[in-house]
Structures are given as structure tokens and as C-alpha cells.
């Protein structure tokens, strides 16, 4: 959207607002106004927005002759588009070598403020269309083009406070609360400081005068502090030792920059993430408990902690938006079914940092009971196969939090149970040290069921075939893994032979 069109649009909006039109509003900058117009589902509203465009490439071209226009270079395409009547930018030119590219970048920069539209950089493109095709794309980005940005616009403002926000995964992020300042077309009041190390590196303190810019013309950031304007005695920033949301302990693992709240099962900031993980297929497998329903349950204060899931009644569920009686009953049935689980699934469902499915199974096998795991010291946890110092410390810290232990006990109290037994060290299991790979569709077992059976016998189940693989279990429509096994001379067996191995092992 051109700058003059943007101003005219905002003037019309101000007139409508003065006339009492509550739907009218002014726009912050041309970029946002243009993006909003493009996303409009109502073509009538979009038509009222003064959008402009420059043609810069071709989709499909047809012409009377079979071959169509034959272009060898991007520059030729631009000249043809202009000849056909399409608007093409005048700020385009061929360039040879780095020096000409840099000169063009500088020349456009000199005109930037006087251009009729906003820009944040220039784009260099390989001219040869054959080379463009050869270079191809990476996801959505071409390998044959690159943007050369201009420095972000900067302004001065003051830091009024430094708040600490807690993300959905428990990460704590310090955020500078700024006196409002207009930067790069928007009014900025907040700027992330990323983590304590970054805040200390820049030495940002409350009351400081700071230079602010929008990184990439999008994300506000504090560039630097004007130390000579600092008020005497301004304290250095430090991360709180307890979560500002739930008061659980805050930890920073060795080698990491981020601080994290340890109250994953209790912290309100992490509630939605904790519920979604708890209900996921490889955890408690609660069918029907998806993201939209979790949003409703948490935002409506129906569920404040994991045990509340199992206390919900039929009436409370049917009161939710788009929750029919049948759907409500299906969810209640799924919750009831999920109460019968395994220790490994339950451990994984708790969302303990660094504890994935395999580690959860190793812990369940090594200790046998949940109480033993909860009571284990860091040194005892380190005796579990493949559990190192970072993972052991994470597990120990998690279960040392009273909030987390309380949630676990409440989950037990609502009826969640699993078989427990004596510890079974992996080295003593019958298929210990054997690596299996599953491929294709087995006659009677799902991939997950076969994997659980093999791991229960001490085997490792890998996703890829290598020389270290002992067996490939192949079903119908087995693909490249079967070919790889034959190529490497790895033993290939079917489900019956796998069950025989498991039977012999038992």
C-alpha cells in the first residue's frame, strides 16, 4: 500500500469514526493495512482498501504458438511484463558481481525515505532462468534469491519495569516494559530481553534510557543502554528464584541459557501444554481431548489441574460450546478407559523435562514402582541405563516439588492405576542388547503393540536399519527398510518368528 493511499485510507477511517461508526478504525502502518486487506474474506471490504502491486515473475504463460514465449533471463521477463502493460518497478537493474550489488543497495538506501512505499531491503536474484531451475527451492525459499535488509529504524525510550513472563513450556523470559515509542511504523511498549544472560550482557536496568528497534522490522528489541543517563543505584536484573505464576522453584540447567519453572503439573501458565501432552496418544491416550477442547476447559476454569479432568461431570461438559451429549459421553468413556495404563506411560504423561518415552520405560523397568522413582536420589537415578546427570537432576527436581507430588497423588486418588513389580534391570532381560526394526503392516499387532512387547523384553526398537540391527520384523507392504536389511545381510523375520523369540525369551 502506497504511503499516500495509506494516509487517505486513515483519513476516511477517522471521518467514519467521527460520524459514530464503531466498526471503523485507523491502521498503524501501510504494511499492516495491506496484510489485513489481503487476508480479508469479504471481497467487498478488501475492494475498499487501496492496494497496489508490482509484477515480478510469471506463473504460467500461454500463446498461439505451442512453445510460448522463450525467456532465458529474469530481466527479459520483467521487460516483457512491462511491455504487456503490467506495472513493473523502476527500481530494478542488472548487476555484475558483489561490488555492483552493494552499489545498488546503497543507491536504493539513499532514496528509501522518499519512495512512495515502505521497504526493508532489496533482493538479489540469479538472472539465468536455467540456473534458477537448477538451484531450486528450500521449503518456501528459492536458492537463487536473497534479501539484503537495511538497518532497522531505532528510537530512544526508557525502561519502566522488567517483567518475567512464563511460557507454555515453563521457560521464563524477561520483558522490558517501555515508555511508548513509535518505531518502524508501530508503537512499541514491550521488548524481549530473551534470558538473564542476555539481559546481563546488555545490562538493562529499570529506569535506563535505551535504544530500541524492531528486529527485521517486526520484533521489538533493546539494542543498547545509554549508561551515562543511568540513575545512581539502579539494581542489576536477576531472574527470580521462584516462578511468578505458581511460586515453584526456578532452575537453569548447566550449559543452558534459559531458566524454567519446575511446577509443570501445577503452573497455570503451563496448564494447556501439560493437558495436551498428558492426553496425547503415546501418553494417557485420551481420545477426543484435543487443542480446542483444552482451550475451552482451561479458559473456562473447568480444569485447573490434571486431576480435574477425571472429576468433570456430564452436565459440565455439555455446557461447553459445540459439545453435544454424545461427544461428552465419549470423552467421559475415554477418560475412564485411560485410568488403566502402564507406569512408563504415566511417567511420560507427567511431562518431566528430558523424559521421553524410552527414558520413561527405562525408569519403569529399572525401579519397578513409582514410589521408588519419586524417592530416588540423583545418584540412584543415574544407575538407570541411558540416564545421565542432566536427566537425573531433572527427574529429581521434578519430584522434589510439593506441587508436583500433590498432583501425582491426586491422579492416583481419582483411580489411575498401573501394574507394578520388582525392578528388572535391562541387562538381565532376555532380549537385552538386541536391536529390532519394524516395517510394514503386521497381521495381528500394531506397530506400537509390537514395539512395547519387544521393549518389555529388553530389546531396543530403532527407526532405521544399520549394521548394528539384529532383526528386521517385516509385515505386508514393507518398504525401503526391508531392502536395506537384505542389502546389509540383516536377519528378516515375520510376526510369528518375532513372537517365537519373545516366547523363547519368556
Q: Cα(148)–Cα(213) distance, rounded to whole angstroms?
A: 18
Contact in structure between 491 and 435 (CB atoms under 8 Å): no
pLDDT given at position 502: 87
> What residue numbers does the annotated binding site cover?
125, 149, 243, 246, 267
pLDDT tens, residue by residue, 14-44: 999 999 988 888 887 888 889 888 888 888 8
Q: Cα(379)–Cα(386) distance, rounded to whole angstroms?
A: 13
pLDDT tens, residue by residue, 389-407: 999 999 999 999 898 999 9
pLDDT given at position 64: 58
CA 260 to mean position of chain CA atoms? 17
pLDDT tens, residue by residue, 235-268: 999 999 999 999 999 999 888 889 999 888 888 8
Task: Give the residue with greater pLDDT, 375 vs 262.
Answer: 375
User: How sure is the predictor about 65, in pLDDT bands with cuts at 50, 70 and 90?
Assistant: low
pLDDT given at position 505: 52
pLDDT tens, residue by residue, 288-339: 999 889 989 988 889 999 999 999 999 989 988 888 999 999 999 999 999 9
Residues designated as active site: 25
The closest alpha carbon to 164, from 188, 195, 189, 198, belongs to 195
pLDDT given at position 215: 60
pLDDT tens, residue by residue, 122-166: 999 999 999 998 998 887 789 999 999 888 778 899 999 999 999
User: How sure is the predictor about 435, in pLDDT bands with cuts at 50, 70 and 90?
Assistant: very high
pLDDT given at position 218: 64
pLDDT given at position 229: 92
pLDDT given at position 126: 97
Neighbours of 440 (CB within 10 A): 17
87-96, 179-188, 490-499 — which is least confidently predicted? 179-188
> What residue numbers does the annotated binding site for Zn(2+) cover?
243, 246, 267
Average of per-residue pLDDT across 37-52: 88
Contact in structure between 114 and 139 (CB atoms under 8 Å): no
pTM listed for this prediction: 0.59
Percentage of the chain lying above the pLDDT 70 cut = 96
pLDDT given at position 169: 83
Mean pLDDT value across the chain: 90
Phi, psi values for residue 317, rounded to 5°: -70, -45
Kindly tell me if the per-residue pLDDT of 452 is higher than 90: no
Kindly tell me if the per-residue pLDDT of 68 is higher than 70: no
Q: Cα(469)–Cα(442) distance, rounded to whole angstroms?
A: 19
User: How sure is the predictor about 61, in pLDDT bands with cuts at 50, 70 and 90?
Assistant: confident
Q: Cα(311)–Cα(268) distance, rounded to whole angstroms?
A: 18
List, in order of start, the domains of the chain with CATH numbers.
Answer: 3-48 (no CATH), 64-148 (3.30.1490.70), 151-266 (2.40.50.140), 267-339 (1.10.150.20), 343-414 (1.10.150.20), 435-502 (3.40.50.10190)
Percentage of the chain lying above the pLDDT 90 cut = 62
Amino acid at each position: 500500500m502506497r504511503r499516500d493511499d495509506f494516509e487517505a485510507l486513515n483519513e476516511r477511517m477517522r471521518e467514519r469514526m467521527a460520524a459514530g461508526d464503531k466498526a471503523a478504525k485507523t491502521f498503524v502502518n501501510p504494511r499492516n493495512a495491506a496484510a489485513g486487506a489481503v487476508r480479508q474474506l469479504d471481497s467487498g471490504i478488501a475492494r475498499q482498501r487501496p492496494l497496489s502491486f508490482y509484477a515480478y515473475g510469471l506463473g504460467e504463460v500461454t500463446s498461439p504458438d505451442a512453445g510460448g514465449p522463450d525467456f532465458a533471463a529474469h530481466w527479459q521477463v520483467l521487460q516483457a511484463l512491462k511491455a504487456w502493460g503490467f506495472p513493473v518497478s523502476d527500481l530494478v537493474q542488472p548487476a555484475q558481481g558483489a561490488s555492483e550489488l552493494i552499489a545498488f543497495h546503497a543507491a536504493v538506501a539513499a532514496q528509501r525515505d522518499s519512495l512512495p512505499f515502505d521497504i526493508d531491503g532489496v533482493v538479489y536474484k540469479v538472472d539465468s532462468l536455467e540456473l534458477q531451475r537448477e538451484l531450486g527451492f528450500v521449503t518456501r525459499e528459492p536458492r537463487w534469491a536473497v534479501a539484503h535488509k537495511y538497518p532497522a529504524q531505532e528510537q530512544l525510550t526508557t525502561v519502566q519495569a522488567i517483567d518475567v513472563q512464563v511460557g507454555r513450556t515453563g521457560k521464563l523470559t524477561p520483558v522490558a516494559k517501555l515508555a511508548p515509542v513509535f518505531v518502524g511504523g508501530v508503537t512499541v511498549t514491550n521488548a524481549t530481553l530473551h534470558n538473564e544472560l542476555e539481559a546481563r550482557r546488555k545490562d538493562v536496568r529499570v529506569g535506563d534510557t535505551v535504544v530500541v528497534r524492531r528486529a527485521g522490522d517486526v520484533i521489538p528489541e533493546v539494542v543498547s543502554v545509554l549508561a551515562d543517563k543511568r540513575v545512581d543505584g539502579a539494581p542489576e536484573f536477576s531472574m527470580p528464584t521462584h516462578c511468578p505464576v505458581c511460586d515453584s522453584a526456578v532452575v537453569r540447567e548447566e550449559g543452558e541459557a534459559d531458566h524454567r519453572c519446575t511446577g509443570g503439573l501445577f503452573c497455570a501458565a503451563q496448564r494447556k501444554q501439560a493437558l495436551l501432552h498428558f492426553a496425547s496418544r503415546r501418553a494417557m491416550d485420551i481420545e477426543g481431548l484435543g487443542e480446542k477442547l483444552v482451550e475451552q476447559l482451561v479458559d473456562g476454569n473447568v480444569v485447573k489441574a490434571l486431576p480435574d479432568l477425571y472429576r468433570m461431570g456430564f452436565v459440565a461438559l455439555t455446557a461447553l460450546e459445540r459439545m453435544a451429549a454424545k461427544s461428552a459421553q465419549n470423552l467421559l468413556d475415554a477418560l475412564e478407559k485411560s485410568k488403566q495404563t502402564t507406569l512408563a506411560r504415566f511417567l511420560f504423561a507427567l511431562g518431566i523435562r528430558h523424559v521421553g518415552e524410552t527414558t520413561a520405560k527405562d525408569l519403569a523397568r529399572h525401579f519397578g514402582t513409582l514410589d521408588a522413582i519419586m524417592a530416588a536420589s540423583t545418584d540412584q537415578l543415574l544407575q538407570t541405563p541411558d540416564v545421565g546427570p542432566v536427566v537425573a537432576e531433572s527427574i529429581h527436581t521434578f519430584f522434589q516439588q510439593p506441587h508436583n507430588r500433590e498432583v501425582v497423588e491426586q491422579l492416583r486418588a481419582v483411580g489411575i492405576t498401573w501394574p507394578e513389580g520388582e525392578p528388572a534391570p535391562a541387562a538381565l532381560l532376555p532380549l537385552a542388547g538386541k536391536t529390532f526394526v519394524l516395517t510394514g503392516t503386521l497381521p495381528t499387532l500394531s506397530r506400537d503393540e509390537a514395539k512395547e512387547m519387544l521393549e518389555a523384553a529388553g530389546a531396543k526398537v530403532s527407526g532405521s536399519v544399520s549394521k548394528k540391527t539384529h532383526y528386521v520384523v517385516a509385515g505386508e507392504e514393507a518398504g525401503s527398510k526391508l531392502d536395506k536389511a537384505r542389502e546389509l545381510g540383516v536377519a528378516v523375520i515375520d510376526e510369528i518368528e518375532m513372537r517365537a523369540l519373545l516366547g523363547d525369551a519368556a
